[in-house]
Structure 1
Amino acid sequence: MTGTGRGPRGPYTHPEAEPVVAARLAKQDVVQGLGHVLCRLVPMDEATAWAEAVFCLGNPGQGLSYRTGKLQLLELLAEAAGRDGFELKDFHDRLWREGNAPFTLQRWELPGLRDQLDAADRLAGATGD
């Protein structure tokens, strides 16, 4: 049914559109709020802060994924650095050559540790896969 009415922030054509419009306006308010917070906490201009806020809201797992990868990389580096003959340049070169190989596999190949692979196998067995 088509009708005309007023939503919480202005006119809308269909009554079903009100929640959609309200959600979009709320998201816009959140983006602007995040942009202002970023401007205060991080040295960046408002346009960049707004773009970062939009990206973070549109990709909610990206930040966590980045942090997880960073921790895995630092763990791999710490384990490799404890080996005799460790050279940072060699570690770095190998890391670039491996590309997107999971750190768990690199950890198995480089320092020879497979505890993370064994844990993954146990988890897979627990789910019946």
Structure 2
Amino acid sequence: MTESRRSFKEMCAEFDVTPRTLRYYEYIELLQPDREGRSRFYGPREVARMKLILRGRKFGFQLEDIRQWLLIYENEGTKAQMQAWVELADRQLLELAEQKSQLNEAMDELQSLRDSIAAEIR
């Protein structure tokens, strides 16, 4: 095995994902490892895609959005992919801002309730 290829087990360990997650990413065509018999091997392309997938998940993107975004690169090239990324990021930023607002509201309400109950028990 060459250094640029990783086994299934190595990919799980490197990216701290479960075997089930890695198999699922393959099932939904986010990853396409080389197969040798029953073994799977992941080259530089798959490693780069895995980094992008995990970064996208960190930012809250849906797996289908990530899959479509990766397909744009394969079908239309870098510029189209970057344009799609900007559009996805704009949408996600709006969604995250709304979630942040809701979270701040819930925290303020909880703090107020906590303070009033703490005052009652003194």
Shorter-chain TM band: under 0.3
Q: Whose helix proportion is higher, 1 or 2?
A: 2
TM-score (ref. length: structure 1): 0.27
TM-score (ref. length: structure 2): 0.28
Bigger Cα Rg: 1
